[in-house]
Amino acid sequence: MLLPVLFFCRIGIKRLLPCVWLLAAGLLQAQSITLTAEQSRLNLGNGLQYVEAPNADGSLDTALAIAAQHWKTSDTHNLNLSYTDRPYWFRTTLHNPGTRPLLRQLELAYPVLDYIELYSINQHGQVRHWLLGDKYPFKQRPYLHRNFVIPLEIGAGETLRLYLRVHTSSALQMPLHLWQAEAREAHDQQQLLLQGVYFGTMLVMLIYNLILFFGIRDWNYLLYVLWITFIAGFLASFNGLAFQYIWPEATTWNDQSIAVLLSLANVFGVGFSIAFLQLRRNLPRATPALQSMIVLGLIATLVALWLPYQLAIKFAIFNAVISILLIMAAAIHLWSAGFRPARLFILSWSSVLIGGVILAMNKFGLLPSTLFTEHAAQVGSALEAVLLSLAMVDRFNSERKSKERAKVDLLRAQQDLLDSQRKQNEILENRVHERTRELEQANQKLQEMSSTDALTGTRNRRYFDQAYAKELKRMQRDGTDLSLLLLDIDHFKQINDTWGHQIGDECLRLVAQTIGQHIRRDSDTLARVGGEEFCILLLNTSAAGAIFLGETIRSAVAALSPEINGQHLSITISIGIASSSQQLPMPPEQLLNLADKALYRAKKLGRNRVALFEPERDQGSA
């Protein structure tokens, strides 16, 4: 009798489980995350529920038995619980309302977590289980990736619950994302490119300074190379790249390597600073304090091999931050005392100090986990590597110059009498040069004055004649075009008679200024060649180009309307043009004469116009 009852009970329970699941799914539906096919990336941090594990049991039943009121909800994208000895449970629910199943990849992008257990439960009660973490060999991961990546399938119209149990000696951070595979791979390529730029920069700095060390035997360069090696190794281990590519099976060393490499980077960084700043000579009282930090760094390196990771990394970070602060204080003191190489040194260590402090505050939970805070140490160390290399070059050049100055001072001390005579000669020579320069400047000023029209500020007739002769020779030699514009202010005598010579002079200046605004090439020449006449020499300009410029100038002058005693004065000009590009009846030397004939025709035709020389019309003009 008992066996049939048990049989039917089992059948009943099996049929009851989906109903219970559906009821639970209905209750959790308000808290679930709705997925769509278009979502390429989803941050699961905001809304992620978490609770401290009540016991050491890592089974799913333990998480399911935790009462709902004990679960807390994250309100940040990257949950950071800092350093803790206790394991934590995390949970979230994914719902696919679509008609097709969704294939996604869950990524936990913090590669130094020790133990991770992931359970997924679909609405049919089926459970899948994964074991991850850097305490397991790298090849056991579902995806051979520096972060923890797990494939998920959410069936059409189904809900998938996820439970994660994390126990780690590192800072407990949960940058949890749900990806489409293609989107994650594209994002990963961008991240690898940035990592490649960083490690490529560090490698170039390492090789370059190693070559310098072997070339000049300066121990500063070797200490710098060792610092670069260990700081880059520390960041490669911290980012999971070393575990992926260098020691994928060494799970114990992978934890130890972070504290060991950071401590060694601190040892050689402090040693380099003592040597570079020449503290034993420049600031001997600061040397013992920094030497003690080297000793502490070596101790931190050794104890990291047997201390728990959490204690070892805290010790290493503390030692590094104190060392950097001491180094910065010494460098600032030397800079204020006039030690020039400390300038770039301070700038370089400031970058790594800021990056290191940001990283430390992030790991202790004082700053949120973002792309910048997670990579601040890399940015800072890369800047420091480049700036320190420049600082060493600057110091090398400064020392070389100091040695050269010392040699020069020694020679001068040995030849006091000769140097004194040389100085007297130099003083006399300088006076001669100064006097010559003053005469040249005065002569140049006189030449400028002699070639400039005092009233309008343009070139005068003397300068124009010289420029005209020179450009005629150039034209005949090179076969280039030369055009000449002769401009005359219409009725200028009437303006003088009506308004007086002072107003007439203002008109001349205004017209000259207007013409000058339209001459944009330095090779062209504007000169005042008569009372109210101006002339423009245009190099490499055809007749068409000269006409265009002439019309532009004529229109601009005609648009002028200066106000005099409440009345607007009308000013116009007539322009005659001759160009070597025309078929001229006489030699090019007669361009000025031909332009004058064209000007005469422009006046005769009523003024305020532009006339190009025409042989058949202007040949007989006076």
pLDDT tens digits, one per residue of 322-364: 998 898 899 999 989 888 888 888 888 788 778 877 876 765 5
Residue 622, pLDDT > 50, answer no
- DSSP bridge pairs for 42: 178
Asked if residue 354 lies in contact with residue 343, where contact means CB atoms within 8 angstroms, the answer is: no
- The 3-state DSSP class for residue 102 equals strand
pLDDT at 584: 62
Half-sphere exposure of 563 (CA within 13 A, CB side): 2
Residue type, 460: N
pLDDT at 442: 66
Residue type, 330: A
Flag the least confident range among 252-261, 379-388, 568-577.
379-388
pLDDT, tens only, 149-166: 999 999 999 999 999 999
CA 556 remoteness from chain centre: 47
Flag the least confident range among 11-20, 120-129, 164-173, 501-510.
11-20
What is the mean pLDDT of the segment spanning 423-440?
78
Identify the CA nearest to 105 among candidates 138, 145, 134, 139: 145
Helix 371-414 crosses helix 219-238 at what angle (to 10 degrees)?
180
Residue 260, pLDDT > 80, answer yes
pLDDT, tens only, 455-482: 888 999 999 988 888 988 888 888 888 8
- DSSP bridge pairs for 533: 488
Q: How many C-beta atoms surround the C-beta of residue 36 within 10 A?
A: 10
Give the H/E segment covering residue 41: strand 41-43
Which residue is associated with the tokens 């009437």? 494
Which residues lie closer than 8 Å to 66 by C-beta, 6 or more apart? 51, 54, 89
pLDDT at 363: 58
pLDDT at 321: 86
Residue type, 149: V
Q: How many C-beta atoms surround the C-beta of residue 12 within 10 A?
A: 10
Residue 199, pLDDT > 50, answer yes
Please calculate the CA angle 12-14-20 and round it to the nearest 5 degrees: 95
Asked if residue 101 lies in contact with residue 146, where contact means CB atoms within 8 angstroms, the answer is: no
Which residue is associated with the tokens 């300068």? 463
Between CA 15 and CA 616 the distance in angstroms is: 117
165-182 burial: b if 16+ Cβ within 10 Å, else e: bbbbbbbbbbbbbbbbee
For 76-147, list the strands marked E by DSSP: 79-83, 88-95, 102-108, 115-121, 127-132
**Choice between 397 and 530, residue whose per-residue pLDDT is larger:** 530
CB-neighbour burial class of residue 11 (10 A; exposed 0-12, middle 13-18, buried 19+): exposed
Asked if residue 493 lies in contact with residue 504, where contact means CB atoms within 8 angstroms, the answer is: no
Between CA 570 and CA 534 the distance in angstroms is: 19
Tell me the C-alpha to C-alpha distance, in Å, between residue 239 and each of 146, 197, 201, 233: 7, 15, 17, 10
Identify the CA nearest to 319 among candidates 363, 269, 382: 269
| Structural domains in the chain, sorted by start | 26-179 (2.60.40.2380), 196-400 (1.20.1070), 461-618 (3.30.70.270)
Phi, psi dihedrals of residue 600, rounded to the nearest 5°: -60, -40
For 479-583, list the strands marked E by DSSP: 482-489, 525-528, 533-539, 563-564, 567-568, 573-579
Give the H/E segment covering residue 315: helix 309-336
Residue type, 465: D
Identify the CA nearest to 227 among candidates 166, 272, 183: 272
Asked if residue 303 lies in contact with residue 312, where contact means CB atoms within 8 angstroms, the answer is: yes
Between CA 489 and CA 487 the distance in angstroms is: 7
Between CA 151 and CA 178 the distance in angstroms is: 10
- DSSP strand pairing (79-83 vs 115-121): unpaired
Share of the chain above pLDDT 90, in %: 42
pLDDT at 179: 94
Asked if residue 602 lies in contact with residue 574, where contact means CB atoms within 8 angstroms, the answer is: yes
Residue 146, pLDDT > 50, answer yes
CA 393 remoteness from chain centre: 23
- DSSP strand pairing (567-568 vs 563-564): antiparallel
What is the mean pLDDT of the segment spanning 498-504?
87
Phi, psi dihedrals of residue 287, rounded to the nearest 5°: -65, -45
Between CA 406 and CA 183 the distance in angstroms is: 64
- How is 365-376 classified by DSSP, letter by letter? TSS---HHHHHH
Phi, psi dihedrals of residue 337, rounded to the nearest 5°: -85, 0
Identify the CA nearest to 353 among candidates 336, 328, 316: 328
Asked if residue 591 lies in contact with residue 464, where contact means CB atoms within 8 angstroms, the answer is: no
CB-neighbour burial class of residue 114 (10 A; exposed 0-12, middle 13-18, buried 19+): buried
Residue 176, pLDDT > 70, answer yes
Identify the CA nearest to 152 among candidates 115, 177, 186, 187: 177
- The 3-state DSSP class for residue 616 equals helix
Residue 619, pLDDT > 70, answer no
Alpha helices in 217-250 (DSSP H): 219-238, 241-245
Mean pLDDT rounded to a whole number for the chain: 84
Q: How many C-beta atoms surround the C-beta of residue 144 within 10 A?
A: 11
Between CA 39 and CA 36 the distance in angstroms is: 6
Residue 75, pLDDT > 60, answer yes
Alpha helices in 415-491 (DSSP H): 416-450, 461-478
